[in-house]
Amino acid sequence: MSERTPEAIRMEIAAERQALDDDLSNLQSEIRSLAVFVAAGLVVVGLVTWRRGKRQGAGAVWKLVK
């Protein structure tokens, strides 16, 4: 049998859950910061393709988003 008590196992599970919550929070903050760069990239692509014409530029951006 295990030498660990149920309380010790519960404490280990709680610590692991807290570590996973911290990892999730870090990942979500990284995704939010990455979203800003993606949006800025789409704006740049839109501005560059805008020179080809409004309809073609909007179509090119839509293809990238889609």
CA neighbours within 13 Å on the CB side: how many for 50? 7
Domains of the chain: total: 1
Residue 41 lies in a domain: yes
Q: Give, for all 66 residues of the chain, the pLDDT tens digit.
A: 568 898 999 999 999 999 999 999 999 999 988 988 888 888 887 777 777 666 666 677 677 777
Q: Residue 19 has what pLDDT?
A: 95
Say which amino acid occupies 21: D
In a domain, 1, yes or no: no
Rg, the chain, Cα only = 24
- CB proximity list for 45: less than 8 A, separation 6 or greater: 60, 61, 64
Domain ranges, residue 11 = 6-65
